[in-house]
Each structure stands twice: as structure tokens, then as C-alpha cells.
A and B are shown apart, each in its own frame.
Chain A
């Protein structure tokens, strides 16, 4: 593969899902099998492109694609660097697993083609956010993904689903307005929208006040999108109300690609991290971590419990990333990857339970492992992973974060991290006990097994949970995680690297 071929991969991340989405919207109503096939091949295609991108980044370094042959800063640039590739792999990995799951699961609902249209639109939006090098373009893709997710939360059109979607839509729009306002201020100050160019302008001179103002706006906007604690109120309603595959997408990747990725990209690569922002991020992270888990442990609705755990686990990621040491960033990113995998798996499991039994209440379940052995096993693996039991992937990432925090002599944060981990274990023991172990209730005796495609998807995610730890073996780490860590820990180099890579 030459460098030109490698460059031509970059637009594909947006093109493939968009094409799939609109083809389904035209043809999906007439040909019943088409939405499944197109959805599967579109997400699989993006995943293969993401894997090719890992290779490309290792051979050629940071790649910049000028859309329409207009060179940045005038035209729109798409930047493929370590962090983008990392996020692309996460997004498309989860998207393809979820797509396989949906083949059977979405039979529940009418008009499957509408689901796939919106789903692929959301994937296109997330890929776009991650791949773009232009801050207004980032906002546009963020809105594409957000609007598609508002519609998907309301997909069941029951009363509580519409209520959750409306709440999510209103609050999400306010958050997007904060982000837009921040971008407007930045544009009026720097007269450029290209992120690398903007970074070099901001590094040059008297911009402390504008950065302070915009930092606050972005913290609110992207903090909302990533559901950090003071801005988390929408998540426990929106994520459980969506159909299970969408809950998996929202908790697994949407809050990360729209929230954390954008937050990190802007604070580390455009503004340059300061001690204040770093401590704010760490504080918010620790707050989310602890409050999320305390709210989760008392829940009896399985999906709501998982949604609160998303808030808590996002706290770990932000704590690690906010710490700013290379080890902390490594832990944060690794935990981001792991959380995507096991939280999607947990939501898919809850979907499988709902598919079979029609309930989400833990008190009504019981003994389901006798009837659903695959779901029970994958749920056990995912629960152990999220609670941080060795040798599952969650253990390594939490360990790295805690070691990094201790090395930075922030013992208080380390204590809270350990405490949250213990409480996570407790609440997942509760899930396992009430849902899967114990005696099988009479009314569940007629349950059939879970359909094949759902099993395939859950098993493949469970395998990643088990072997996910290999990503920190030095050879694999250098190819994948270290590339992303480099981009963040050498944040101020972003401008020069990207501007040099423009051809």
C-alpha cells in the first residue's frame, strides 16, 4: 500500500456509512433483507478500513487529507493521527458487533430499515467527529450523530421513551449551543477554523482570557456529551430507553467519541493543557466515578443500573486522561477501549434478557443462566471485566490508572478509584445473583435460546474482554495505544505535525 492509497482510506470512514444509510433509506422498504446486509457490510467495511488505518499510521505517521484538493487552512482537512485511529477502531468495532446483534434483535420492532438508516447516520457522524481536522466540521458531525441518537432513543415510541428522547434532545441542543458559541468565539479570535492552524495562532500570543472563556463553554458542552457528573442527568433516562443495540452504541462509543475525544483533542491539542484544566478534569472525573457508582448500586432496573455505571466508568477515563502523565493517559485510553467493549456487551446482554423475558426488572428475573447459558457466561465475563477482576481487560486498565494516580502522589484520588471499583464489583454481584443465579422462576421455564446472530455478537465481544489485556504487551502497545498516547502527551506538537503533513 503506497502513501496515496493510505490517504484515500481517510474519507472512506464517512463515505461508507453515509452511502449505506441513504441506500437503505431508498431501497430498504422494498427489499427486506437489504438493510441487514448493507448495515453489516457498511460497518464491517469501516472496521476493515480502521484496521488498515492502524497499519497506515505505523508506516507513514500522521496523514492529512485535503478534501477537494483545497489545502488547509482554507479547505477542510481530515487528520489521521494516533488518537483518531484509536477512536476509529473503537467506534467501528463496537458498531459492527452491534450491527450483527441487531439482525435478530430488531425483529421486535417495525420498520427495521429506519433503524439502520439512523444507525449508520450515527456511525458516520461519530467517524466524522473523530477524523476531521476542522473544528466547525467537528460541530457538524457532532450534530449529525446527536440528532440521529435523539431519534434512536425514541425509536420504540412508547411514552417513557418519547419523554427520555425529548429531555435528551432539549438538553443536548443546549449543550451543542454552548459548543457552537465556543467555536464562534475561537473563530472570531483566531480567524481560522482549522484546528492545527488555530492551535498555532493561540500558542503565539495574548489569548489567555479567550481561552478561559471558551474552556468553560467547552467543558459544559462536551462535558454534557460525555455525561460528566454535573451534566449527567440525561443519561440515566436516555440510555435505558433506547433499544438495546442503541444503548450499547450510546454508552459504548457515542459519549466517548463526541464527549471525551473532543474534550481531549481541544484541551490537549488546541489549547495546550494547563494545571487548572487538569485538576478540574481530574476532580470531575473522580466525582463522576464515585457519584455514578453510588447511584448505580441501588437500581433495580438492569439497564438503568448499567447506565449509571457508564457515568462511573467515564469518570475513570477522565481521571486518567486529566492526570496528564503518559502512564495516566495510557490507562485512560485503555480503559476507554475496555469500557466500550464490556459496557456494550452488558447492554447487549440486557437486550438478550429483554428479548426473551420482556422485563428489565432484576427482581423479576432469576436463574436465567439455566435457560440462557451463553448470555449468562458472557454477562459473567463482562461483569468481572467492569469490576476489574484479573485477568480480564478492565483489571489492567484500572490498575494502570491507579498506579499512575499513586505515582503522581494524588493518594485521595487513588482511594476513590479503588472504592468505586469495589462498589462496582458489589453491584455486579447483585446483577449476577438476581438475574442469572438462584432458582429459575416458573414463568421463565418456556424460554427459548437466544437467536444465533445475537449469540455470535455477544461471544465475540466476550472474547475481546478476555484477551483485551494483550493490548498492553509492548509490541501491540507500540502499534496501537502508544500512538494515541503520543498525540496527547506531546499535545503542543499537534499543530506542527499536522501543518507539516499537509501536502
Chain B
């Protein structure tokens, strides 16, 4: 990211982005992983993680952001999130019920507690984060596609 690119916004925006984008990403991970002990969770955390990439795309242009997180990887993450969530639910069948919390619950308010809830949060975070970023990319790229089509005409 230290290379200066021609595309994107001004130097000030790029510098601030460089400083903050990692923090935003880590904050998203924090919200995501502490979903069962504090407000937040998979959805909110996933959104924040996705926003860090959206931020990157706004400041540096689509090429840099898509280099960090290509479209194929995004759709893979999205599918994986759903599959992981569904598998967690399905493993519950081994304990008798769909979606049953089959892991040890642990002590309340500890990071490693609440059984399957943190795992579900991670899966939701993957799904929501990748999904939101994919929607953003789709909107951006669709615009480029139509523009290039019109130019050809």
C-alpha cells in the first residue's frame, strides 16, 4: 500500500486511509469475536470488516481493493460462511436437534464460552462481510461495464 497510485483520491485521504484501515478491520474482528459477550456479533462485525475494504476502494480505486480481496475470493467466502453456518446447525443432529448448542457452554462473559454461538458469529461475519463487499463491488463494476459498452457504441 505504500506505493502511490494515480487513481483514487488525494494524498491526504490516502494517508489517513492507510493509517485507519487496519484499525477498522481489527475493530470489526473484535466486534465479531466478542459477539456473545458484548453488543455486536456476526452481522455488525461483518459489516465493519466489509467497510474497511470499501474504505480502501474509495480512497485507492477499485484495482487496489480488488487486489487485496479478489471477486472470486469474495464469493468463495460468502458461500463458505453459509456452508459453515449450516454445518454447525447440522452437527446439532448428532445431539438430537437441528441447531442445538452441542458444545460446552463454559463460564459466562469469557471469550471462550457460549458453545456454538461464537462459531456461528464467525460464519455470519464471513457471509455478511463478503456479501456486503460483493454488493458494493457489483454496483461499482456494473457502472464501469455499462460505461464501456456505451463507449463502444
Q: Please give the residue numbers on chain A whose beta carbons come within 8 Å of chain B beta carbons, in ascending order.
A: 8, 11, 15, 18-19, 22-23, 25-26, 65-69
Contact = CB atoms under 8 A, between A and B. Distances in A.
Main secondary structure of the interface of B (DSSP, over half): helix
A335 B140 CA distance: 47
Nearest to B101: A68
B83 interface: yes
B75 A25 contact: yes
B80 A67 contact: no
B97 A25 contact: no
A65 B89 CA distance: 14
B99 A25 contact: no
A197 B82 CA distance: 31
13 contacts: A8-B93, A15-B90, A15-B98, A18-B82, A19-B83, A22-B83, A25-B79, A25-B82, A26-B83, A65-B98, A68-B99, A68-B100, A68-B101
A26 B80 contact: yes
A5 to B, nearest CB: 12
B86 A22 contact: yes
Main secondary structure of the interface of A (DSSP, over half): helix
A161 B123 CA distance: 34
B127 to A, nearest CB: 9
Interface in B73-119: 75-76, 78-80, 82-83, 86, 89-90, 92-93, 96-101
Given A18-B82, A22-B82, A68 B98 contact: yes
A26 B92 contact: no
Contacts of B92: 68
Contacts of B82: 18, 22, 25
A26 B98 contact: no
Contacts of B96: 69
A68 B80 CA distance: 22
Contacts of B80: 26
Contacts, number: 40
How many of chain B's residues touch chain A, expressed as a range? 10 to 19
Going nearest first, the 10 A-B pairs with the smallest beta carbon separation are: A68-B99, A26-B79, A11-B98, A22-B82, A69-B97, A25-B79, A69-B100, A67-B99, A22-B79, A22-B83
A69 to B, nearest CB: 4
Interface of B: 75-76, 78-80, 82-83, 86, 89-90, 92-93, 96-101
Given A8-B93, A25-B75, A26-B79, A15 B86 contact: yes
A18 B100 contact: no
B50 to A, nearest CB: 18
Given A22-B82, A25-B79, 10 more contacts: A11-B98, A15-B89, A18-B82, A22-B83, A23-B83, A25-B78, A26-B83, A66-B97, A68-B99, A69-B96
B86 A68 contact: no
Contact of B97 (A19, A22, A26, A67): A67
B107 to A, nearest CB: 21
Nearest to B83: A22
A67 B98 contact: yes
A18 B86 contact: yes
Contacts of A23: 79, 83
B116 to A, nearest CB: 9
Nearest to A75: B99
Contacts of B76: 26
B97 A68 contact: yes
B122 to A, nearest CB: 16
Contacts of A66: 97
B144 to A, nearest CB: 16
Contacts of A15: 86, 89-90, 98
A147 B96 CA distance: 32
Nearest to B84: A22
A25 B131 CA distance: 13
B152 to A, nearest CB: 17
A68 B86 CA distance: 13
Nearest to B98: A11
B79 to A, nearest CB: 4
A15 B83 CA distance: 11
Contacts of A26: 75-76, 79-80, 83
A8 B80 CA distance: 25
A482 B35 CA distance: 48
B83 to A, nearest CB: 5
A68 B91 CA distance: 11
A23 B75 CA distance: 12
A65 B93 CA distance: 12
B86 A19 contact: yes
A65 B92 CA distance: 14
A267 B9 CA distance: 57
A123 to B, nearest CB: 15
Contacts of A67: 97-99
Contacts of B93: 8
A15 B86 CA distance: 8
Nearest to A69: B97
Contacts of B89: 15
A77 to B, nearest CB: 12
A22 B82 CA distance: 7
A268 B100 CA distance: 32
B110 to A, nearest CB: 22
Contacts of B90: 15
Contacts of B83: 19, 22-23, 26
A474 to B, nearest CB: 36
Contacts of B75: 25-26
B6 to A, nearest CB: 32
A22 B87 CA distance: 12
Nearest to A25: B79
B94 to A, nearest CB: 12
